A and B are shown apart, each in its own frame.
Chain A
Amino acid sequence: MVLLLFIYPGVYSIVQPSGGGGTVGVLRLLLPQESLMFEVLILALFAVSFDFISGYTGYLSFGHSLFFGTGVMMVLGARADAFAGAGIPVLSAFGPQTPLLQVMLGAMVLAMLLAVLIGGVSFRLTGVYFAMITLGVAELARFIVVGYIGETGLQVTGSDLDWVIGLPGIGGVNLIPFRGSQVVLTDVPILGSLIGLISSLPVVGPYVPAEIQLIPLTSSYLVVGLVVVLSYFVMQRILNSPFGRVMLAIRENEERASAIGINTYYYKNAAFAISAAFGALAGALQAAWAHQANAAGAFGVLERAGPALIATIIGGIGTLAGPFYGTLFDENLVEVFDRDIKPFLGDLLGAETLQSTAVLGTNLNGVIDIWLTGQAQMYTGTVFIVFILFVPGGLLGTLRLYAGGKLSHRFGDFLAGLVGRGRGVLGR
């Protein structure tokens, strides 16, 4: 799966070599664009962080968009040099020259602090209260941010700083270029020498191209992919540790968990803080790429937390990978409805047919405009309701139920079985 993510840009460019123009095939209709996969990765990280707290401890973090917004505002605020101007104590250390990595770490820490503040008040109560309070804080944050940046939002212009990894003060290594200009991989410090090393190897060497060029989208896609996959594995590791077991114990029966001596209040707060940090990371990544945001898109519960919630349920709440598939489905449907369906039908039926076919006082184009464009959330919402009612485990949860364990494990067993059977047939 992970490998597939990284080779996707190449695969997509093979399937769709024209890159935007040309006829719209079924594949083009159904396969997400590279820029969309970019969004999917970031939103999937956000949905996974939501699932981390909601699916594993059973406490629904309804206003999870608060942390996404924290990340967004941290990056944009630093880039716009808003913190130093406003004279906010610690935040004013973050200016437009601060490396992105440092800003992201700052956003994660800030989100953790926020989470502990909220959790400190609301974890003394039941999950219903927790859902309402997180919702309230997110909406309040949105009001406050609107007070500062207005309804239309904030846009940062100017050149981008690369993503510098290193220690503050000592200087960093620019390992990974992010949203810069065209990138020649062999010129990148460490990665370049690595490629040079590989190409000097006897057998593989000749196959390495002398110069690998990546457009900014692809290089940033790979960077974001790396961060998202790393975050995913960190969260998976936490969930498989004793800490994760405690989270499950809280979900299954909190009273029993505290009866055997677990300080559930502490564990709930810690889990919430971790989840918040990754939510903020997703927001920071998104802002670093988009360079603009408005309060609704960053903090809005319906606009930001809602899709993550829907994606989590469809993919499977309580499975860490589920939200990823849910987001893929959700975002792809949005893209198909908003952008792809019209040219696709236009090619299939002819553009004139779309214009001339009268349906209830308007034409087919009008019908698409009203019923499909911008309305994808209605259909995903319907799927969401159906899933809540009939498939509470979600896609992945139900698949695991039928397979009897994690799919990768099952697949491994299946392969082993095949090998065994093959040996039997061959008589060895």
Chain B
Amino acid sequence: MTGLLLQFGPTALLETLIQGLGQAGLYVILASGLTLIFGLMGVLNFAHGAFITIGTYLGAMGLFLLSSPNAAGVGGFLPLLGVFVLVFVGLMALGSLVEFGLVRRLYGRPPIDQILLTFGVATVLQQLAEIFVNLFTGGTSNQAQTPWPEPATYGPAVFGENVTVAGLAIDGVVLMEILVGAVVVAGVYLFLTRTRYGLYIRAGSEDDEMAEALGIDIRRVFTVVFGIGSGLAGVAGTFLIWQSTYDVTVAIGAQALLPAFIVVVVGGLGTFTGTVVAAAVAGFFFEFGVLLSTNVFDFVSLPQMLLFILLVVTLIVRPTGILGEEEVGGH
């Protein structure tokens, strides 16, 4: 019993809180792309998971090119920034291409068709990723299906090691996630409220036909938003390299898609503020689950279960999500 009390001392709780904040940052990056796309176009993008996978591998490639193993000090962060930019731009291009070539044809059709189409895109992209990984690793060993720990050693040395902040031992990558998460929240918020393009996006979410009648090229706005959403998915995928709960395989995106969906539904489909709030709540839930499952119960799936309980409770108490307004999407 004393052991239990010790593990729940203020230090452990504070550490969990900060880790939860880091997890929340990750969830924001994972989910904001989804919610932006859904809010504007009403498309539930199942290809998001494939974009995450590609982001992971592209990020790993960038790390091999730009960074060196265990780069110490500030010198390790510059290549990392380069990798983020590379991944963001690469995935943005891919996302825009998918929207321009495929999703665009289906705006008039029922939402189910768009779900199906993006699911098909996800399947094809994931298999393509597998083929390319196998091509680069020399074929028959099927590297794409087995965990690949090597990329995690590249990048800043503090990732994966504990940094002491005010007496608390925090993993370096958690601090980075908090930072990037905050940057993404601030960036998207400012983009939506302070730029002309953000105005177009908000107008389009409200009523896309009216916006088009007022002379806004709404189709180009759609493409840009899809691109930004995909780019954010890629950056999130790069972060997953250092997450101990995920292994780098081609299935990584499919695994990460579930919490992203939960965050989007809990926050309310299509509201960015709701997603941020839900990401924070879900992040704390997850880390609290980790704390419980490592100390009290011996049940590895507890964090995922807690997330899910969060989803079910939200759906029963407030079906449209924390900040969702009305039912969206039709059926």
Tell me, in angstroms, the Cα distance from A306 to B49 when the chains sit together.
14
- By size class, the interface of chain B is 35 or more
Chain A residue numbers with a CB within 8 Å of B44 are: 128, 131-132
**A236 at the A/B interface (Cβ < 8 Å)?**
no
Contact (Cβ within 8 A) A140 B304: yes
Tell me, in angstroms, the Cα distance from A388 to B111 when the chains sit together.
12
Tell me, in angstroms, the Cα distance from A167 to B105 when the chains sit together.
56
Number of A residues with CB within 8 Å of any CB on chain B: 48
Tell me, in angstroms, the Cα distance from A127 to B115 when the chains sit together.
11
Tell me, in angstroms, the Cα distance from A21 to B92 when the chains sit together.
51
Cβ of A427 to closest chain B Cβ, rounded Å? 54
**A139 at the A/B interface (Cβ < 8 Å)?**
yes
**Contacts between chains A and B (CB distance < 8 A), count:** 132
Q: Of all chain B residues, which has the CB nearest A387?
A: B120
Q: Which of A122, A126, A136 meets B262, CB within 8 Å? A: A136
Tell me, in angstroms, the Cα distance from A125 to B251 when the chains sit together.
29
Known: A139-B258, A147-B299. A375 touches B131 (CB 8 A): yes
Cβ of B197 to closest chain A Cβ, rounded Å? 26
Contact (Cβ within 8 A) A306 B123: yes
Q: Which of B123, B319, B331 meets A302, CB within 8 Å? A: B123
Q: Mark B207-242, 1 if CB is under 8 A from A, else 0.
A: 000000000000000000000000000000000000
Contact (Cβ within 8 A) A140 B105: no
Interface-located stretch among A24-32, A238-246, A362-370:
A362-370
Q: Of all chain B residues, which has the CB nearest A139?
A: B258
Cβ of A62 to closest chain B Cβ, rounded Å? 8
Tell me, in angstroms, the Cα distance from A127 to B304 when the chains sit together.
24
**A281 at the A/B interface (Cβ < 8 Å)?**
no
Q: Of all chain B residues, which has the CB nearest A384?
A: B120
**B203 at the A/B interface (Cβ < 8 Å)?**
no
Known: A313-B116, A389-B105. A122 touches B123 (CB 8 A): no
Q: Which of B113, B127, B305, B331 meets A381, CB within 8 Å? A: B127
Chain A residue numbers with a CB within 8 Å of B134 are: 370
Contact (Cβ within 8 A) B328 A126: yes
Contact (Cβ within 8 A) B131 A370: yes
Chain B residue numbers with a CB within 8 Å of A62 are: 115
Known: A128-B44, A378-B123. A366 touches B112 (CB 8 A): no
Q: Which of B120, B251, B316 meets A388, CB within 8 Å? A: B120
**A310 at the A/B interface (Cβ < 8 Å)?**
yes
**B190 at the A/B interface (Cβ < 8 Å)?**
no
Q: Which of B109, B115, B131, B311 meets A60, CB within 8 Å? A: B115
Contact (Cβ within 8 A) B329 A126: yes
A-B contact pairs, 27 of them (CB 8 A): A60-B115, A60-B116, A125-B315, A125-B319, A126-B328, A127-B111, A127-B112, A127-B329, A128-B44, A128-B328, A128-B329, A131-B44, A133-B265, A133-B315, A135-B258, A137-B308, A139-B258, A146-B301, A301-B254, A302-B126, A302-B251, A370-B139, A371-B131, A378-B127, A382-B120, A384-B116, A388-B113
Beyond A144-B301, A370-B134: 7 further Cβ-contacts under 8 Å?
Answer: A60-B116, A129-B265, A302-B123, A306-B123, A374-B142, A378-B124, A385-B120
